[in-house]
Structure 1
Amino acid sequence: MMKTIKINDRVIGENYAPYIIAELSANHNGSLETAFKIIHQAKLNGADAIKLQTYTPDTLTLNSNNDDFVIKGTLWEGKTLYQLYAEAYTPWEWHKPLFDYARELDITIFSSPFDRTAVDLLEDLNAPAYKIASFEAVDLPLIKYVAATGKPMIISTGMADKEEIAEAVQAAYDGGCKELAILHCVSGYPAPAEDYNLRTIQDMASSFNIPVGLSDHTLDNTTAIASVVLGASIIEKHFTLDRNGGGPDDSFSLEPEGLKQLCVGAKTAWQALGQVDYGRKSSEQGNAQFRRSLYFVKDMKAGDVIDETCIRSVRPGFGLAPKFYDEILGKTLVQDVKKNTATRLELLK
């Protein structure tokens, strides 16, 4: 049986509605007030959790202009890593008021730590869970350090091959993690839907026997909702107030209405999965009149023999099914019947 995890009493797994994480990331654009508003909108529009990223430029990279540190071929072309992270990070002194506000609104809040000092900060705030970002999935010492907290952990797997994913999973277990989930991810910003190969989700689930979700960087909700049908039990999307806000992540993030549609659509897709069931559904009960069945088309007496002039396959569906047509021919009636009466076995000899 597939394992589950639990974050703040919310069970996450294949038999539960998808867990929707709104990623705040850099979309506060340097404003604590904006960060508060994003958390509020995440709650209003149905997200289960809001997620931060906990780093500073100095905990994530080196302040260097060397060619290795200059970003090329992405949305952030030409900036150094240090410049990007200085613009994007969430100040550590914001974390407590953001955690307090989310708890006041009753929406789960946790974060992605990028080094040990970040884990220590989040432990002081009693974070209920941890997320390992895709680019940190190869940082096995960090994964083990997070695992030692005993909290549930979600690991994103963008850029990681199957062997690296297995190493990350093993590191989590080696560190003492008891509740683990992984997210299929494509680390493009934005990423085209055709890069996602969502069938990978099923392989990940069968290979690791833990909840699998999707970290989705496409521009709409189609890929995320489709992933639910393939077994995704967690969906993470970047979330902003305004896609045109000009921040580092705004352009590929969902706005409030998009988040609302994701939450509704993902839950609907999960509900539609159901189980194998060929029986008549409650919504079909009133439509039996639109099926075909066999009816008598003339008045007949007890003892009459039924021939092709006596019965027809017509709507409604309250008589014997048309498959009994040949079987009924040649049978004798045991009582009188009126024209337009449904055929029944007990009328026949």
Structure 2
Amino acid sequence: MDNQLVSDDSPAYIVAEFSGNHGQDFSVVEKMVEAAAACGVDAIKLQTYTADTITLDSQSEEFQIAENSSLWRGETLYSLYKKAYTPWSWHKKVFELARARGLTAFSSPFDESSVAFLESLDVPCYKIASFELNHFPLLRAVAKTQKPVILSTGMATLEEIGAAVDYLAKYGCRQLALLKCTSCYPAPVSAANLKTMADMKRRFGVPVGLSDHSKGMGVALLAVGLGARIVERHFVLDRHSDAIDGAFSSTPDEMALLVKESKDLNRAIGQVSYGPSEAEKDSLKYRRSIYVSQPLKPGMTITKDNIRVVRPGFGLSPKHYDAVLGRELKVAKQANTPLLESDLV
């Protein structure tokens, strides 16, 4: 990903999806780039389409968004995408702003013309949206660039994912990641089914991650703990603005939290390790050990009445307790001192 390795051993790669949350105000998108960089994300992502490249300008029923649960109820597909698209004339400037702040910048194309346009801007990689997984002409155009591809899998059956993966490979895709996704806006937590990530990794042998549309950060953070190597969340400056995806987008404070906690989680996962870690070595002295509990003279016998197993751990290990009972001392011992092997006959 733009010379940044995404693998099982790398920290989660965090992507801030701008979608249409800029409200087609370039000053807002400039502020979004600044805020994303301040949050510490790895990349920002745009969506490259127009209403005309993604749907038809029709008022007929099948083009209406009528679900009561939809944030965009009452819109037609055309009217929604006309409001939500990112002007293509912005892309070059937005990418330059992002790169100047150390961010990778790329986009989701939605048809072949958008791939050609993004190639003219030399994007480092591509994201395929869940709703486009079955758009094989788009998959072919993206695969032919031979650049890394992130494929979201919302709604897709295992057979559909397999067909898309095979088709991408057929036309030149050699670097692929799959994202678990729930294509609801916002997505219910109960529909996340994050165990699917491990299954996709096992079946397809590629890095996996999450495209998250749920409210809050819990699902995204759990995904990191379960092995997500890429996490994408929609990004908004102010959830209470008129931003089109604001209800399920992360604010700068939330995105900064995701970045920080993801890094901490990666460190916490660590590796298989037994024995005291470097951080634990100072704590070893607070384990239990065998101590003399009363003054003893040379030649006296060790009994249950004159030793105890207590903290700290400077004496013999308690595993030797039974073995030292009945042995004689060859030196005097003061009370509250550790019993050592060298003290015994």
For the aligned pair, the TM-score class normalised by the smaller chain equals over 0.9
Residues 140 and 326 of structure 1: CA distance in aligned 2, closer, same or farther (over 3 Å):
same
Give the aligned length: 343
Distance 1:62 1:72 in 2: 17
Residues 291 and 316, structure 1, Cα contact 8 Å, conserved in 2: yes
SS, match of residue 209 in structure 2: strand
> Could you tell me which residue of structure 2 aligns to residue 68 of structure 1?
62
Deviation at residue 32 of structure 1 after TM alignment: 1.2
> Could you tell me which residue of structure 2 aligns to residue 97 of structure 1?
93
Deviation at residue 320 of structure 1 after TM alignment: 2.2
Deviation at residue 289 of structure 1 after TM alignment: 4.2
Residues 345 and 254 of structure 1: CA distance in aligned 2, closer, same or farther (over 3 Å):
same
> Could you tell me which residue of structure 2 aligns to residue 264 of structure 1?
260
Q: Deviations over 1:18-44 (max 9, x none)?
A: 000000000010111111111111011
Deviation at residue 233 of structure 1 after TM alignment: 0.4
> Could you tell me which residue of structure 2 aligns to residue 162 of structure 1?
158
SS, match of residue 182 in structure 1: strand
Deviation at residue 340 of structure 1 after TM alignment: 1.7
Q: Deviations over 1:76-130 (max 9, x none)?
A: 1121100000000001111111112112222110000000100001000000000
Q: What pairs with 1:108-187 in structure 2 (closer than 5 Å)?
A: 108-187=104-183
SS, match of residue 71 in structure 1: coil
Distance 1:233 1:279 in 2: 28
The code of the aligned residue for 1:25 comes to: S
The code of the aligned residue for 2:89 comes to: E
Residues 214 and 235, structure 1, Cα contact 8 Å, conserved in 2: yes
Of residues 224, 227, 231, the one that matches 1:231 is 227
Q: What pairs with 1:232-311 in structure 2 (closer than 5 Å)?
A: 232-311=228-307
> Could you tell me which residue of structure 2 aligns to residue 20 of structure 1?
14
> Could you tell me which residue of structure 2 aligns to residue 321 of structure 1?
317
> Could you tell me which residue of structure 2 aligns to residue 52 of structure 1?
46
Distance 1:232 1:272 in 2: 14
User: Do residues 217 (structure 1) and 213 (structure 2) align?
Assistant: yes
Distance 1:163 1:229 in 2: 27
Distance 1:246 1:208 in 2: 40
Distance 1:277 1:257 in 2: 34
Distance 1:105 1:160 in 2: 36
Distance 1:109 1:278 in 2: 41
Residues 292 and 321, structure 1, Cα contact 8 Å, conserved in 2: yes
- Aligned-pair RMSD on alpha carbons? 1.3
SS, match of residue 44 in structure 1: helix
The code of the aligned residue for 1:154 comes to: I
SS, match of residue 313 in structure 1: strand
Deviation at residue 51 of structure 1 after TM alignment: 0.1
Distance 2:228 2:205 in 1: 13
Distance 1:292 1:200 in 2: 45
> Could you tell me which residue of structure 2 aligns to residue 3 of structure 1?
none
The code of the aligned residue for 1:9 comes to: N
The code of the aligned residue for 1:236 comes to: E
Q: Deviations over 1:39-73 (max 9, x none)?
A: 11101111100000000001000111111110122
Distance 1:344 1:168 in 2: 69
The code of the aligned residue for 1:264 comes to: K
Q: Deviations over 1:221-261 (max 9, x none)?
A: 11111111111000000001111111221121111111100
User: Comparing 37-46 with 96-105, which one deviates more in the overlay?
Assistant: 96-105
Residues 288 and 318, structure 1, Cα contact 8 Å, conserved in 2: no
* TM-score between both structures, scaled by the size of structure 1: 0.95
Distance 2:202 2:331 in 1: 61
The code of the aligned residue for 1:10 comes to: Q
User: Comparing 177-186 with 137-146, which one deviates more in the overlay?
Assistant: 137-146
User: Comparing 20-29 with 335-344, which one deviates more in the overlay?
Assistant: 335-344
> Could you tell me which residue of structure 2 aligns to residue 4 of structure 1?
none
* TM-score between both structures, scaled by the size of structure 2: 0.96
SS, match of residue 5 in structure 2: strand
Deviation at residue 140 of structure 1 after TM alignment: 2.2
